Amino acid sequence: MEIIYKKSFVKRLERQVEYIAGNNPQNALKFRNELFVKLRKISENPYAFRKSVYFDKNDIRDLVFKGYTIVFRINKNRIEVFGFTKYQKKPID
């Protein structure tokens, strides 16, 4: 199964890697490389990942990686990775 990385995912990931690199460039590269290793494994069994907490659809799943949530959609012949967010608690009013 082919994996497609949408622009929305790529831009958010690049911003996070740049932020990490500001403190430690080696950690930024390690983070990026480890994430892509995990992403490549999605195609082996995409439904093994949890149903997305952001969408009420069975074909949209979440991969959780080091406190970040990567959201992807499962299509017939490909997987579209489109979301990248850090877990945040709702602000207390």
Residue-wise burial string across 16-55, b where 16 or more C-beta atoms lie within 10 A, e elsewhere? bbeebeeeeeeebeebbeebeeebeebeeebeebeebeee
Whole-model pTM?
0.87
Q: What is the pLDDT of residue 64?
A: 94
* Rounded CA separation 67/57 (Å): 22
Residue 93 has pLDDT above 70, yes or no: no
Per-residue pLDDT, 89: 54
The domain tally of the chain equals: 1
pLDDT tens-place string over residues 14-73:
999 999 999 999 999 999 999 999 999 999 999 999 999 999 999 999 999 999 999 999
Residue span of the structural domain in which 70 resides: 2-86
CATH number, domain of 61, equals: 3.30.2310.20
